[in-house]
């Protein structure tokens, strides 16, 4: 683990993004809340938030951060769903791994919940959109 003890604490935010391609029929089932495992969007949001909070348990040498905010937004696109995660903290190190983990697990949750009805799903474009740091 990198020693960040000499660094000043600062307000940090990271925004990550990813998407999952779904068949039109699958999107309609999600919209009507007719996926057998339950409410896909609500479950994916909770899973993404929980994952961001557990990032240091999942990724070796990742600092354990006290998150002040994690938000997961899921939007419909022409080809499926797009997931955005915003993570915030006041710490000596960045929060991008938490935002990326939130996106990845939200997408994996959607995949898991829809795999019985859609064999053509494809997760892609997981990336960091932005990270910022400001003095506190």
Residue 14 is assigned to a structural domain of this protein: no
Nearest to 106 by CA among 53, 28, 36, 60: 53
Q: pLDDT category, 17, cuts 50, 70, 90? A: very high
Tally of domains in the chain: 1
* Mean pLDDT, all residues of the chain: 97
Q: Measured between alpha carbons, how far is residue 90 from residues 3, 16, 21, 68, 70 in Å?
A: 17, 18, 35, 8, 13
In a domain, 29, yes or no: yes
What's this model's pTM, rounded to 2 decimal places? 0.96
Q: What whole-number distance in Å separates Cα of residue 130 and Cα of residue 82?
A: 16
> Which residue among 112, 118, 125, 135 is the active-site one?
112
In a domain, 34, yes or no: yes
Q: How far apart are CA 18 and CA 16, in angstroms?
A: 7
Average pLDDT over residues 18-34: 97
Q: Let me know if residue 13 belongs to a domain.
A: no
User: Would residue 6 count as lying in a domain?
Assistant: no
Q: Is residue 101 part of a domain?
A: yes
**Mean pLDDT, residues 6-13:** 95
- Encode pLDDT of 38-59 as tens digits: 999 999 999 999 999 999 999 9
- 93 domain residue, yes or no: yes
| 118 catalytically annotated | no
Average pLDDT estimate for 18-24: 98
Question: Which CATH number fits the domain that encloses residue 98?
Answer: 3.30.70.640
Domain with 51 in it: 22-135
Average confidence (pLDDT) over 84-110: 97
């Amino acid at each position: 683990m990198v020693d960040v003890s000499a660094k000043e604490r600062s307000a940090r935010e990271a925004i990550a993004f990813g998407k999952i391609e779904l068949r039109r029929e699958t999107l309609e089932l999600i919209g009507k809340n007719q996926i057998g495992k339950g409410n896909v969007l609500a479950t994916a949001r909770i899973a993404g938030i929980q994952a961001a909070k557990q990032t240091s348990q999942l990724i070796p040498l990742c600092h354990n951060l006290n998150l002040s905010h994690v938000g997961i937004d899921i939007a419909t696109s022409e080809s499926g769903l797009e997931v955005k995660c915003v993570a915030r903290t006041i710490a000596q190190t960045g929060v991008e791994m938490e935002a990326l983990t939130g996106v990845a697990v939200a997408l994996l949750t959607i995949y898991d919940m829809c795999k019985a009805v859609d064999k053509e799903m494809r997760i892609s474009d997981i990336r960091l959109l932005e990270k910022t740091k400001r003095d506190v």
